[in-house]
Amino acid sequence: MGSEPTRSEPILDLSTLIERPRIRIDGNLYEIRSPDELSLIESHFFALKGQEIDRLTKAGNQGEELAELIRDVVRKVVVELPSKVLSRLSEAHMLAIVEVFTGLLLRRRLGLAGAIAKAGQKTRNEAAPESAQDGAGQSTGAKNFPASSASTAETPSGGSPMRRQRS
């Protein structure tokens, strides 16, 4: 499996220098918040607002409540966005900003999940004997139940499909 980390490769790469992504509105660049700079409370805020947007969208509510909710998220996502610029944005523009920011959040979570998976794989590889690492003794994919001592081989066919009577 060629993508396993080597001993010198870090499984997680962190930086304390925050680089904010930028968006362009009417030719001007504006920074948006980086997922790395969010506090737990801010992350929770965005998660709740995202759920609320999903709920209102699925309910078919395209009214002022949804527009105000999206506007509120845009205010918190875009750094120093002038009120005049915000007022010129359509709902579609604001939703695009929210979707870009959500994509950044998801990409960060996927990166963390990948780091966790790499760490788990590295731990398993270090703990496994050499014969297990070269493919010997790997599972065949058959499901096994913990309390069962039964074989996972296929049940022989034949016999009557009728159930037997108990005596």
Residue 73 pLDDT greater than 90, yes or no: yes
Beta bridge partners of 66: none
pLDDT in tens, 10-54: 887 888 888 899 999 999 999 999 988 999 999 899 999 989 988
- Establish if 122 belongs to a structural domain: yes
Q: What pLDDT, on the 0 to 100 scale, is given for residue 82?
A: 97
pLDDT in tens, 95-124: 999 999 988 888 877 766 777 777 777 666
Q: What pLDDT, on the 0 to 100 scale, is given for residue 25?
A: 97
Which amino acid makes up residue 161? P
- Establish if 3 belongs to a structural domain: no
pLDDT in tens, 145-158: 455 445 555 555 55
What's the total number of domains in the chain? 1
Q: Can you give the residue range of the structural domain that contains 72?
A: 22-126
Q: What pLDDT, on the 0 to 100 scale, is given for residue 11?
A: 81
- Establish if 135 belongs to a structural domain: no
- Establish if 75 belongs to a structural domain: yes
- Establish if 50 belongs to a structural domain: yes
What one-character DSSP code corresponds to residue 37?
A: G
- Establish if 139 belongs to a structural domain: no
Stretch 50-70: mean pLDDT, rounded? 87
Other beta carbons less than 10 A from residue 35's beta carbon = 20
- Residue positions counted in the chain: 167
- Average pLDDT of the chain is 78
- Establish if 150 belongs to a structural domain: no
Alpha-carbon distance of 4 to 13, in angstroms, equals 16
pTM of the complete model: 0.60
Burial zone of 99 (CB within 10 Å; 0-12 exposed, 13-18 middle, 19+ buried)? exposed
Q: What pLDDT, on the 0 to 100 scale, is given for residue 83?
A: 95
Alpha-carbon distance of 127 to 24, in angstroms, equals 50
- Establish if 113 belongs to a structural domain: yes
Residue 8 pLDDT greater than 80, yes or no: no
* Residues 41 and 85: beta-carbon distance below 8 Å: no
Specify the higher pLDDT residue, 131 or 36. 36
